[in-house]
Each structure stands twice: as structure tokens, then as C-alpha cells.
Chains A and B, each alone.
Chain A
Amino acid sequence: MTSPGTNRLAMGRFAPFAVLAFFALLPFWMTDQYFLHVLIITGIFIIAAISLNLLLGYTGQLSLGHVAFFGIGSYASALMSIGFDLNVFGWMLVVTPKPVWFCILCGIFVAGLAGWLIGKVSFKIRGAYFVIVTISFAEVMRLVALNWIDLTEGPMALNNIPPLTLWLPFAGETTFWSKVPNYFLVLSIAAICFEIVRRIVVSRVGRAVIALRENEPLAMSVGIDVTRYLLIITVISAAMAGAAGGLYSHYVRIIDPDVFLFIFTVTMVIMVVVGGKGTLWGPIVGGLLFGIMPEALREFAAPEVQWIIYGVAMIIVLIFLPQGIVPAVGSWLQSRRHGSEPPATPEPPGAKGAADPS
């Protein structure tokens, strides 16, 4: 919806397949296990960034506690797979270990439920209020994870989380011990999330929330129940973040309350904003950039220097491409295609520099 013009749509039809094919073939020639590990973690964060972009980019609501849904997904999924017993008002609730695929689904469900709750309480009043509620929610979740030692082991962390075991065609019962199957798992979930967002944003539901982002009073005047659609999108977004959390816990196989740290939310927001919020490719471009760059810098620079470079890179991108990388590249491509004609979209200042980071 955000990209006017038909030629860009035509290009957009093949680009996802090309990118997917590139990343699907990557492990066949890139055998460096460490690099695969970086890509897996980056992929998990890209899924989280895609989910945040659905909320921040398309509905315009800033969730600064998005990591809460990620953390809830990872804890729920990990606990279900390890099994736990819980004393609920004198009742003994005993959960035996469940198959991991089922646990990830539970994590998605619980995170979605949390999203529904948060949406329900905070969307009566939006904007800053929503930001505050989400920040507090994430912080409260971290304290719960830290202090509810019976359930979460607190700072001792949940460890020995089992990896995913799946029945696969041709391979039979497979346990995802090594990097390559995990890589493909994350890649396919990321692709599914991308497709879900793509389908939503061009649909009637997507138009309803984009209308809310652009002009809430007008959206209401044409009969859109903005709160209802916002709630639907929040649940989807939270569930997606929960999926990322589930993947994280079964890949890393140890989680502690630090999964709720504010810095992870910030990382997601940076990925989305630098890549281009409200664009399908924004979180992917931003995620790859900020997922891989710290690792790429590691060889050349001391950790302090790395973080400084990381910060400077972000500031530079935002000064010169305030809309983010993807919209800037888009309008640059369009202006090139039209030759000397000025682009239809108002060009952000400094958009000519868009060629460099791509």
C-alpha cells in the first residue's frame, strides 16, 4: 500500500523468491559454522523485527516493550518442553515435557494472548500511553522471570532446553542439533511471517490500520472500528514475536531473564526504523545490517569501538535517509527509471545517497 506505481509491484512479485532462493542456497557454499550461527540469530531477530514492523510501521503504534512478547514466547515454549510443576492455590499443576513443535505453538499462543491483554487495556487511549504500558509490561515480565524461581529458575536460567525434533519427509524423525537444519527452520518461519504481513497489508484489514496510522478521525468517519483492527494486528504481531522467542530458546537452549532486556526492544526498533518502517523489506534489510555488522566488525575493532561504529552508522543512516533505507532505495530506483522526470513520491532529503548502503 505504501508504494505507489505499478512497475514497483511487478518487481516486488519476483524479489521475495529471489531473496529466498539466495538464502536457501547459502548453507551449501557457506560452510563456516560460526557465520551460520550469526545468520540464525540474525534471522530470529528479523522475525521479531517483522512483527514489530507490523505494529509500528503499519498501525503507527510504537511498542517499546516488544521484547516482552519475545520473552514470553521463549519462556512458555521452553517450560513446556522441559516440563514443570506449579502450585496454584493448593492445586498441583504438573506439566510433563511435550514435543518441541507443540511447545513453540504454545509459546505463539501465549504471546498472542499477552498481546490481546495489552491491547485490550491500552488501546482505549493510544499513543504515548501505549508506549508506557508496553515498556512497563516488559519490565514487569523481566522481574517475574527473575523472581519466580520455582517456575523460571530465576537468574540460574532455564537450561537443557531440548532442540526441535520433527518428522521430515525423506529424513524421517530429525532432531535439530546442528546449525543447518536450524538455519532452514528460521528461514522458513521468517518467510512465512513475511508472507503473512504481505497478505495482511494489502487486505481490507491492512487498509483499515493504515487508515488509522494516516488519519484516525477520518478512518473512524468512514466506519472503521479502529480499536478492533488494532487489537487484531497486535495479537498477530505479539504471536509472531512469540514464535521468534520459541525459536530462540530451542536454538540457544538456555534462557534467562535477560531475554526481557530493554536493549533487545531497542535493537528491534533500530532494525525497523533504519530499514524503513511500514515497508515489507525494511525489517529484513535493517535486520541483516544490524545483525551482521557487529560480527563483521569484531575482527577489526575492539568492543567499545564496535559499539561506537554501530551507533554512528545508525545516526548517519537516519540523518541522510530519515525514512529508512528501503524507501530511499525505492524512490532512487523510481527516479532512475523515469530518467529526468521527478519522482512521484516526495524525496526525503539526501535520498541520492541511497545507492551507497545497498
Chain B
Amino acid sequence: MSQAPPRTVLEIDQLCVKFGGLVAISSMSFHVDHGEIVSLIGPNGAGKTTAFNAITGYLQPSSGEARFLDKSLNGLKPNQIAELGVVRTFQKTSLFGGNTAFENIMIALHRQGRQELFGSLLRLPNMHAEERRLRDRADEILEFFGIAARRDELASAMPYGEQRLLEVAIGLATEPEVLLLDEPASGMNPTETMSFVRMVERIREQDITILLVEHDMRMVMGVSDRVVVLNQGEIIASGPPSEIKHDPEVVRAYLGTSAPHA
């Protein structure tokens, strides 16, 4: 990997999303460099999840585009974008609920497998080798997230905090270049959040770039390299957490216009 200059992996260029007459995002531009953790914050309804949907192909931008390593993501299907290495998680807990934790990871390892129909029907020898490799990898990932004890439990029956971990584990299993986490810590208690922050840092150590949407400010300020603040579809501030904390625009957006600030 290139060490010296920070390489832009994800570039959002004048992205605009409209639903009929409603402008959800108006001309949003920001970028994420390789190895960074960037947080996208803003009050409810600011357009954070919409931005995620537009970047990952779940919804087509009205104008502008998102680029991954200079390749436009416009018009690609979510699975094609994931194939490139841009993988997201969802705001509402989203798992393969009828499957065990282990099976969830096995499904997520789809991109790491090559086996197609005839290989599986004929039980070709390389299929066994591949399955063994994927199973070992799945166990490794469960171990990494500290949920190996839940291996054979149905995902829908796991405790909430561990379900959220499993979601991130699913994202990580795809071996992404960029991982987009949509409020991964929502609903976690403070202890769970703290251990989750450590988890995010360990994910970054694996050379994975992270774009985070989060409401928990302690987490955002603790873990991010840069913060992008969105309000009513527009970027109102961006910079390192220490600056953002004291930005008057940001304070006003969060506390309302009547907030004393001068």
C-alpha cells in the first residue's frame, strides 16, 4: 500500500438527491483518504443515511457522483459496488436472522469464494479446500469480534449488542477497502460503546478506511480523524473533531437557532 501521500479512496462530488420536490441532499462534496476514519454527523433528517444509500447504490443520485479510486459509482448496483470494495452496514439492525452467527459470516464471505453451481454439484476437490478455508476464516472473524461463543446461535436470538457486532463482522468479512458504518453503536450501552470504539480502531489497523454515521458524540469525537457535519442536506462544517466541537454553526444546528453563541 502507498505509504507517503494520503490517497483519496472515496470522493463525493456535488452529490445531490431529490425525492420529488424535496431536496434530501443538495450538492454535497467531501472526500475520505486511505486509512482515515471520517464521521458524518448531523441532526435527525439531515440526510446522512440518504448519503449512504446514494453512495452504495441503494438509490440513484439526482446529480453529482460518488467515486471510488476515481471510478464512478453512479449506475452501479449495490452488489457491484460491494464487489469493488465499498461495503456498508445498515442503521436498523440488519442480519440474516434465520441463520446462525457462523452462517451469517459464511454468507458474508461470498466474495472470498469462487465456487459456482457445477463445482458444488460435482463436489470438485477444490470445493472442499475452499469451504474449509472459508469456515476457518469465519471462525477467525467471530473470534476477532469476541462473539465466537455465539457461533451456533440464531442471529435473531443473540443479545442486541452482539447483534450489532455481528453486523460489523459481516461487513468486515467482505474484506472491504472502505467500510461505511451507519449508526453501529445506536442502542448500545456506554460500556458496549467503549469496547466498540476499540473495535473500530482495530478494524482501521487492518488497513480499512471507515466512513461512520453516528449520533454518540463521545464515540465520534474519540474515534474520528475528521468530522463532516450535515444539516438539512448541506455540509455546514468539516474538520478535525477538536475544531468541530467549537464551530458556532455546528452548535447552532444541534441546539437550535436560539442558542446563545455570541
The answer, yes or no, to whether B113 is at the interface (CB within 8 Å) is yes
Chain A 149-187, CB within 8 Å of chain B: the 1/0 string?
Answer: 000000000000000000000000000000000000000
Residues of A close to B153: CB separation below 8 A: 4, 344
Interface of A is mostly: helix
Q: Determine which residue in A5, A206, A214 has the highest number of CB atoms from chain B within 10 A of its CB, and name it.
A: A214
A217 touches B107 (CB 8 A): no
Q: A4-B153, A200-B117 are in contact. Are A210 and B99 (CB under 8 A)?
A: yes
Q: Determine which residue in B107, B153, B170, B171 has the highest number of CB atoms from chain A within 10 A of its CB, and name it.
A: B107
Distance in Å: Cβ of B122 to nearest Cβ of chain A? 9
Distance in Å: Cβ of A5 to nearest Cβ of chain B? 6
The answer, yes or no, to whether A36 is at the interface (CB within 8 Å) is no
Residues of A close to B170: CB separation below 8 A: 218, 222
A228 to B154, CA, bound (A): 27
Chain A 182-201, CB within 8 Å of chain B: the 1/0 string?
Answer: 00000000000000100110
A207 to B98, CA, bound (A): 12
B82 touches A223 (CB 8 A): yes
Distance in Å: Cβ of A175 to nearest Cβ of chain B? 31
A211 touches B115 (CB 8 A): no
- B residues 96-140 near A (Cβ < 8 Å) are 96-100, 103, 106-108, 110-111, 113, 115-117, 119-121, 123, 127, 130
The answer, yes or no, to whether A87 is at the interface (CB within 8 Å) is no
- B residues 62-78 near A (Cβ < 8 Å) are 77-78
Q: A223-B87, A344-B157 are in contact. Are A203 and B82 (CB under 8 A)?
A: no
Interface bin, chain A: 35 or more
Q: Choose one: B90, B117, B154, B156; the contact of A221 (CB below 8 Å).
A: B90
When A and B form their complex, what is the total count of cross-chain residue pairs whose Cβ atoms lie within 8 Å?
117
Chain B 138-161, CB within 8 Å of chain A: the 1/0 string?
Answer: 000000000000001110110000
The answer, yes or no, to whether A225 is at the interface (CB within 8 Å) is yes
Q: Determine which residue in A205, A207, A344 has the highest number of CB atoms from chain B within 10 A of its CB, and name it.
A: A207
B90 touches A217 (CB 8 A): yes
Q: Choose one: A199, A205, A344; the contact of B116 (CB below 8 Å).
A: A205
The answer, yes or no, to whether A2 is at the interface (CB within 8 Å) is yes
A207 to B153, CA, bound (A): 17
Distance in Å: Cβ of B113 to nearest Cβ of chain A? 4
Distance in Å: Cβ of A82 to nearest Cβ of chain B? 32
Residues of B close to A6: CB separation below 8 A: 152
B82 touches A346 (CB 8 A): no
Q: Choose one: B97, B99, B115; the contact of A204 (CB below 8 Å).
A: B115
Residues of A close to B96: CB separation below 8 A: 210-211, 214-215, 218-219
Q: Choose one: B56, B94, B110; the contact of A215 (CB below 8 Å).
A: B94
B56 touches A205 (CB 8 A): no
The answer, yes or no, to whether A224 is at the interface (CB within 8 Å) is yes
A5 to B116, CA, bound (A): 26
Distance in Å: Cβ of A37 to nearest Cβ of chain B? 32
Distance in Å: Cβ of B175 to nearest Cβ of chain A? 10
A207 touches B107 (CB 8 A): yes
A217 touches B154 (CB 8 A): no
A204 touches B110 (CB 8 A): yes
A205 touches B120 (CB 8 A): yes
Distance in Å: Cβ of A322 to nearest Cβ of chain B? 14
- B residues 39-93 near A (Cβ < 8 Å) are 56, 58, 77-80, 82-83, 87-90
Residues of B close to A221: CB separation below 8 A: 56, 78-79, 82, 87-90, 171
B113 touches A204 (CB 8 A): yes
A346 to B157, CA, bound (A): 8
The answer, yes or no, to whether B23 is at the interface (CB within 8 Å) is no
B99 touches A223 (CB 8 A): no
A151 to B17, CA, bound (A): 55
Q: Choose one: A205, A220, A224; the contact of B115 (CB below 8 Å).
A: A205
A-B contact pairs, 24 of them (CB 8 A): A2-B99, A5-B152, A204-B115, A204-B116, A204-B130, A205-B115, A206-B120, A207-B107, A210-B96, A211-B96, A214-B98, A217-B90, A218-B90, A218-B94, A219-B79, A221-B78, A221-B82, A221-B89, A221-B90, A222-B173, A344-B153, A344-B157, A345-B154, A346-B154
Given contacts A2-B98, A222-B107, 4 further A-B contacts (CB under 8 A): A205-B117, A207-B110, A214-B99, A221-B78
The 8 closest A-B pairs by CB, nearest first: A203-B120, A223-B82, A220-B78, A214-B96, A204-B115, A204-B113, A211-B107, A223-B111
